[in-house]
Amino acid sequence: MSYLGELARGLGSVLNPQVAQDLANEDKQRQAMQQQVGMTLLQNELQKASPEYQARVEALKNERAFREAAAAAGGDLTKLSQAAMQFGKPEIAMKIYEGAENRLARSQQAKDALDARMAELQMRLDDKAATREQQAQYQQMMVQLRQQGLALQAQIAEGNQQLRGLGIELQGERNQIRREELERKARELSPEQKITYNAGVKEIGKEEASLTATNQVAQALKRFQELNDEVTTGRVSGMRPAILQPKLQELQQLQNWLQVNNFKPGQGQISNFERSLMKGAGPQVTNDKEANDSIIAIQLGGMQTAKERLDFKEDYIEKNKKLLGADEKWNKYVEENPRFVKDEKTGKIVKNENRKSWREYFGGGAAPKPAGDGKWSITPVPE
């Protein structure tokens, strides 16, 4: 039938020139349409082969896979963090980790405040001038505080375990993002500025690597402290045989491991005063719990100060395009703002309530800027 239709159209075109013209126009339109369809198909194929298209497809796949993994995690933050790292969402993993750190810090602060209240209450109990009624009241309050303390200890132990579960690779991912940002900024500098800037970036990179190495030490210190809450240590108690005492055995193992992998806070991590408070290489089973707590607190504080120094140096190099003078400024800040001081009344090592953050010290979120006369001024950090 199609052949007869074409034949009839051909005969019509012979008999009528106008028909022939119409047929020619239809053929041209049909060919143009076929070419357009062909070009569209070709463009689609080329688009599918392009890196941009492949990246969008991969992003969609990762998004779908992450949502499925998040649903399957069922509220388990460790699994959710692992899924975020696996499917290209490190910023989510970092927020989870930082949230866990903040919760742990709040629990520790509450525990410190509770310990201070218990110490004050113990002084009242030891006061011989207190009446029997007062003594009974103080005893009841002490029981309640101890129960609260046990609950907080459980929260702290759970928080430490959660941080261990989130893994060390998160710190590496965070450092990678930092390095990429610094490298991006380096491309915007003049050749002269790049020399000092790149030297500073290398120095920051070395500090990043050392911080990653201290993560395992920090976890070991926290585990030692958890066990020391349950196991009595001291000059005599620490010498007893550890047979059939698994927690004491673990304490001894941690002590030996920490001695081999000893973290010695360097210049700019703790003040000279804090360094004088530390005893030996680290926590030991022959120290009493109070001494071990002080040593661990100072060491962990030194690690946190090292992280803050890294933030300070990144801020400093962004403003000044070099690190010249940064260590001198930072060491002065650390000496004037120790994390721990000795209480004048009790003689115990306590947190320094007057300590300023480095942003407060350098002027409400600022990096010190070297000047030509050797002095320095404050350059506000843009919000």
Any domain includes 186: no
pLDDT of residue 375: 33
329, 227: one domain: yes
Q: Which residues contact 200 (CB under 8 A, 6 or more apart)?
A: 313, 317, 322, 323
Buried/exposed 121-147: b ≥16 CB within 10 Å, e otherwise: eeeeeeeeeeeeeeeeebeeebeebee
CB-CB neighbours of 78 under 10 Å: 17
pLDDT at 31 over 80: no
- Higher pLDDT: 224 or 57? It is 224
- Best CA proximity match to 295, nearest among 243, 256, 258, 253: 258
Are residues 222 and 159 part of one domain? no
> Is residue 243 situated within a structural domain?
yes
- Is the model's pLDDT at 113 over the cut of 70? yes
CB 333 within 8 A of CB 287: no
Lowest mean pLDDT among 65-69, 216-220, 223-227, 272-276: 272-276
Q: Which helix (H) or strand (E) holds 378?
A: strand 376-380
Top pLDDT among 57 and 378 is at 57
Q: What is the tens place of the pLDDT at every residue in 165-204?
A: 665 455 555 556 556 666 666 666 667 777 777 788 778 8
Q: Are residues 155 and 231 in the same domain?
A: no
Same domain, 112 and 15: no
Q: Is residue 291 part of a domain?
A: yes
Q: Is residue 220 located within the same domain as residue 301? A: yes
In a domain, 327, yes or no: yes
Domain final residue pick, 163, 181, 211: 163
Q: Which residues pair with 126 in a beta bridge?
A: none
pLDDT over 70, % of the chain: 68
Q: Is the pLDDT of residue 16 over 70?
A: no
Question: In the structure, what pLDDT confidence band is assigned to residue 88 with cuts at 50, 70 and 90?
Answer: confident
- The verdict on residue 56 lying in a domain is no
Query: Average of pLDDT values for 309-327?
Result: 87
For residue 34, the model assigns a pLDDT of 62
Domain check: are 359 and 262 in the same one? yes
Gap between the Cα atoms of 282 and 240, Å rounded? 20
Tell whether 171 is covered by a domain. Answer: no
CA distance between the termini of the chain: 78
Q: Give the count of domains, the chain.
A: 3
pLDDT at 106 over 50: yes
What is the mean pLDDT of the segment spanning 313-328?
Answer: 86
Q: Hey, what's the torsion of the CAs at 251, 300, 280, 272, to 10 degrees?
A: -170
Same-domain pairing of 148 and 245: no
pLDDT at 383 over 70: no
pTM of the model as a whole? 0.50
Write down the pLDDT at residue 278.
Answer: 67
Mean pLDDT of the chain: 75
- Asked if residue 252 belongs to a domain, the reply is yes
Q: What is the mean pLDDT of residues 339-343?
A: 86
Q: Are residues 39 and 122 in the same domain?
A: no
Identify whether residues 114 and 41 lie together within a single domain.
no
Measured CA to CA in angstroms, residue 295 lies from 65, 112, 221, 324, 366 at distances of 45, 15, 10, 32, 31
Top mean pLDDT of 115-119, 238-242, 262-266 is at 115-119
pLDDT tens, 287-304?
Answer: 888 888 888 888 888 888
Residues 157 and 250 in one domain: no
Task: State the residue range of the domain holding 314.
Answer: 201-383
Distance in angstroms (rounded) separating the CA atoms of residues 225 and 72: 34
Indicate whether 351 pLDDT > 80. yes
| In the block, residue with structure tokens 């132990």 | 157
Which tokens in the block code for residue 298?
């100072």
Structure tokens at 269: 């991590």
Q: What percent of the chain has pLDDT over 90?
A: 2
What per-residue confidence (pLDDT) applies to 108? Answer: 79
Residues 210 and 272 in one domain: yes
Residues 145 and 288 placed together within one structural domain of the fold: no
| Per-residue pLDDT at 265 exceeds 80 | no
Report the alpha-carbon distance of residue 350 to residue 347 in Å, rounded: 9
Q: Does residue 179 belong to any structural domain of this protein?
A: no
- Residue 363 carries which DSSP code? T
Alpha-helical (H) ranges within 234-338 are 246-260, 272-277, 289-320, 326-336
